[in-house]
Structure 1
Amino acid sequence: MKDFKIYITMASLLLIGYVVAQYNKPKPVNWQSTLYYKDKIPFGTYLLYDRLKDIYPEAELSRTNKSAYNVFHGDSLQQGNYIIIAKSITLNKFDFEAMVKYIKAGNSVFMAAFEWRGFITDTLKVETRAEYASKNVSINFTNPQLRAPNNYVFKRDIANQYFSALDTAKAIVIGKNYADHGTFLSYKFGKGTLYLCATPDIFTNYSLLTPQGADYVAKALSYLPKAQNVYWDQYQNGDIPEDISPLRVFFSNPALQWAYYLSLGSILLFVFYEMKRRQRVIPVIEPLPNSTLEFVTVVGQVYYEKRNNANIAHKKVIYLLEHIREQYRLKTSKLDQEFVNTLAQKTGIDEGFSSSLISAVNFVSTHQQITDMELIQLNKLIEKFYSQTGYNGK
C-alpha cells in the first residue's frame, strides 16, 4: 500500500507540473479564416458583430440559423437589413426567390463570401477569383463621396478576391481594386437592394483593428439603410449553435477544464493500478503445432513414389497459366509467338527467356510422358519466371 501511495503521489506531481506548464505556455496565433461571430482570432468576426450596435444603434440585432428559404419565406423576418458573411454562400432556386421577394419589399441583404454556389451564380452570373500580385492588393469605392484619397491597402492578401465575372446589365460596381476589377456589387430589386462583396476577410477582427479596415467596413455597411431590425446569418457559414451539454461550464473555463482532466486522469490511473493488482493469473496456452512441413513432406513422398512426372508437370503448367491470366490479363488459349512477345512486354522479362518458357509449356502440354530432367528443367524455368516478375507464390 505504501508503494501505491508513492506511485500516485509522483504521478500526481508530474501531472500537476505538466498542467501548470501547459496553462502558462503562450497560445499560438490561429490564422484560420473562420468568420465565426464568436471567434476572437484574427479572422473571426467577433468585433464586427459586437460593434453592429454602434452602426445601427436603434436596431434590434438577431441571429438566424436556418436556410435562406426558411428564413425569408413567410413572415419570420421583420423589415430590416440581413447580413451574411461566410466562406461560401449556396442558394438554390427557392432560396433565391424567397430572398428576392424579401428585398423587393424594401429590405437590404448584404453578402460577403469567397465563393458563390448554386442558383445565385447562374442568375447573377457571378464568379470570383484571386489576384496574384507581388505586392498587397489595394481597393477603393467608386462613389466619389465614399472614395478615399488613397486606396485601402491590406496585408496578408485579405483583399485579393474579386469578381472575375458579372452581369453588367444588372450589377452596379460600387467597389474596385487597383486592377479595376469589381470587388463590391449592388443589385436593385424593387424597393430594396442586394449587396455582394468578394472580400469577406476585410470584415474580420484583423482588419477592423486597423484604421483603414475600420473605415472601409464602416463605409461599406453605410450602404445599408437605417433599420429597426438587423439579422446576422449563421447558417451559410456553418456556425455551430451554442453548446448545451452539462459539461459546457467546465470547458468554457480553462481552469475548470484542466481540473476536470486532472480528476479524470487520476481516476484512470487508480483503476489501471487496481486492475493490475487484482487480475487473476492467466494460464499459459500452448500454441497449436505447425504441421505444414509434415504435410508437405507427406504429399511430396506420395508424388515421388508414384513417379508421375507428367501429372506434376501438367499441374505446374495449369497453375502458371492461371497466374498469367489473373495477374497480367492475358489469354492463354493460344501460346504462339505473339503470346511470347506480349508476355515479355507485360512482365518485363527477356524475350528469349519468354520463348524458352512457353516452348517448355507447349512441350509438356503435348506429351504424356515426362522424364525427370524435363520436369526439373520446366520447374527451373517457372521458378525463374516467378523470381524475375517478383511473385512470391502467395
Structure 2
Amino acid sequence: MKLIIPKSTYPFIIILIVLFLVELFAPTPIDWTQNFNSDDKRPFGSYLLMDLIKTDLFPNKEIEFKTVPVFNYPESSNSDPLKNYIFITNSLEMKKWDVDKLVKLAENGNQIFISASSISCSLADTLDLSLTPNVMFSNLGKTLRVQKFENQKISLNKSYKYEKAFDVVSIKNFNKDSLTVLGRDANKNIQFIKKQFGKGNIFFCCQPLSFTNYNVVEENNADYIAGAFSYLPNHSIVWDEYYKPTRALRNSSPLNYLLTHPPLKLGFYLLFFSLVFLLLFQGKRQQRIVPIIQPLRNTSLEFIRTLGSLYYTKKNHKDIADKKLKYFKEFIRSRYHIDFKKENIKELSSRSALPEKTLRMLFDQSKSIETLTHLTQEGLEDFHSKIEYIYNNCK
C-alpha cells in the first residue's frame, strides 16, 4: 500500500525540518551556570582547579570526593592522618550540627578551606563575621575587580584582576582579635580570612568564582589560586561535592537531566517527533476494521425451563419443595440476617412487615413437609403460593 502524505501537513513538516537543522548546526551558547563541580568544564565549573590540585598544588596526594553532609563524615581522632577539606560553592548552607562537626575536624588539626559568597547563619556565627554586598554608586558601572594578598611574599606585590567572574560581596563586622586577614580587594574590602580552631584553621574566601575554570585561564589568576592554597599543608584532599548549587538538579527526574545536556536534548526531541510522525502516518496506513462483538446470550431462562421439565417429568414434588424451602431460608438469612426459626418469627415479622400469622403458617407447613416422604402436587402448589406471597410482599 502506497503511503500518501496529505498536502496540508507539508508546512508543518518543513518547519520541523528547519528547526531541527537550526538546532543541529547553531553554535552552542556559553553556559554561565555556577555549578563548581570538579568534573564540569563550563566556565564556572572546577575541572581545571581539580587538575591543578592533582598535578601542581598537591601532587601525588589522595583526593576523596564527598557527596554527603559534613555531619555524615566519619569521626576523626588525633591519630588519624590530617587532611585538607575544601568547600567551594556559591551558597554554603550548613546546619548547626554540620558546623559543629567542621569545627571538631579543625580542632583535631585538619585544615578547612571554604570559598562561598553566601553562608548560613550558624557558620557566620562560628567564624564571627558577616558578609555584606558592596553596593556602592561608585561600583555600579565597574566590570572589574582586583584582589591582593596581605602577605607580599605570596603575591610578590601582584594584583589579580577579575572581569565578569566575581561576586560583589566582602567580609564585614568581624572580630579582629580572632581572625587574621589574608586578602583584600582594591578598595581595602576584606575578601580572605583565617580563624584558628585548636590545632587547625578554617580559611574563608568570599570569592568562589576566583577558583573556577574561567579564572584559571584568565591572565595570571591561576597564581591567586596557588597563593590561596599555599596556606594549606601538603596533606591529602577531601573535596566537597554535596554543597553545590546543582545538587538538587542532579537528584531530579531523568527527563530534567536529558533536557540540561544539549546532545541528549536534541536526541530526545528527534525521538519524540519521530514517534509523532509514526503515529500520524503509520496509524492511518494500518488501521484495522473494528470487529462487531455479539452480546452474550442469556441462557438462564432456557436452563430454568429445562430443569423445570426434568422435575415435572419425574413428579418428585417433595424434592422440589425441599429445594424451595432451602432457597427461602437462605433468602431470609441474607436479607434480614436471622434464621427462619420459630423463636425468630416475631422479629422476622417486624423486619419484613409481614403478618406474624402468615409466617407461622408457612413455618408450620415447612416443618410438616420436612417430615413427609411424599408430597402431592396440590401440597406443592399451596407451599409455592405461600412462599411467592412472602417474596412479593416483604420489605
TM-score interval, normalised by the smaller of the two chains: 0.5 to 0.7
How far apart in 1 are the matches of 2:171 and 2:257?
44
Alignment of 1:243-392 (within 5 A): 258-259=266-267, 261-273=269-281
TM-score w.r.t. length of structure 2: 0.61
2:164 is equivalent to residue 161 of structure 1: no
CA contact (8 A) 2:111 2:232 kept: yes
The equivalent of 1:2 in structure 2 is: 2
The equivalent of 2:86 in structure 1 is: 83
The equivalent of 1:38 in structure 2 is: 39
The letter for the 1-side match of 2:233 is P
Higher deviation after alignment, 56-65 or 236-245: 236-245
How far apart in 2 are the matches of 1:98 and 1:189?
12
Q: CA deviation at 1:195?
A: 0.3
In structure 2, do the counterparts of structure 1 residues 29 and 99 end up closer, same or farther at CA, with 3 Å as the change threshold? same
Deviation per residue, 1:364-383 (Å, 9 max, x gap): xxxxxxxxxxxxxxxxxxxx
Higher deviation after alignment, 257-266 or 172-181: 257-266
Q: Secondary structure at the match of 1:153?
A: strand
In structure 2, do the counterparts of structure 1 residues 253 and 168 end up closer, same or farther at CA, with 3 Å as the change threshold? closer
How far apart in 1 are the matches of 2:271 and 2:191?
53
In structure 2, do the counterparts of structure 1 residues 246 and 173 end up closer, same or farther at CA, with 3 Å as the change threshold? closer
How far apart in 2 are the matches of 1:171 and 1:188?
8
How far apart in 1 are the matches of 2:183 and 2:267?
51
CA contact (8 A) 2:36 2:244 kept: yes
| Coordinate RMSD, CA, aligned | 3.6
How far apart in 2 are the matches of 1:93 and 1:153?
35
Instruction: State how many pairs are aligned.
Output: 279
Q: Please, which of 222, 232, 241 is the counterpart of residue 239 of structure 2?
A: 232
Q: Please, which of 213, 220, 224 is the counterpart of residue 221 of structure 2?
A: 213
Q: Please, which of 74, 92, 100 is the counterpart of residue 95 of structure 2?
A: 92
Q: CA deviation at 1:200?
A: 0.5
2:136 is equivalent to residue 129 of structure 1: no
How far apart in 1 are the matches of 2:133 and 2:255?
42
TM-score w.r.t. length of structure 1: 0.61
The letter for the 2-side match of 1:39 is D
2:202 is equivalent to residue 178 of structure 1: no
The equivalent of 1:59 in structure 2 is: 61
Q: Please, which of 222, 226, 245 is the counterpart of residue 230 of structure 2?
A: 222
In structure 2, do the counterparts of structure 1 residues 198 and 248 end up closer, same or farther at CA, with 3 Å as the change threshold? closer
Q: CA deviation at 1:153?
A: 1.9
How far apart in 2 are the matches of 1:74 and 1:116?
24
Q: CA deviation at 1:244?
A: 12
Q: Secondary structure at the match of 1:91?
A: coil
CA contact (8 A) 1:15 1:262 kept: no
CA contact (8 A) 1:139 1:159 kept: no
Q: CA deviation at 1:146?
A: 1.1
The letter for the 2-side match of 1:218 is A
Q: CA deviation at 1:101?
A: 1.4
Q: CA deviation at 1:163?
A: 0.4
Q: CA deviation at 1:96?
A: 1.7
How far apart in 2 are the matches of 1:253 and 1:86?
21
Q: CA deviation at 1:201?
A: 0.7
Deviation per residue, 1:168-211 (Å, 9 max, x gap): 12111011112222100101112211100000111111111123
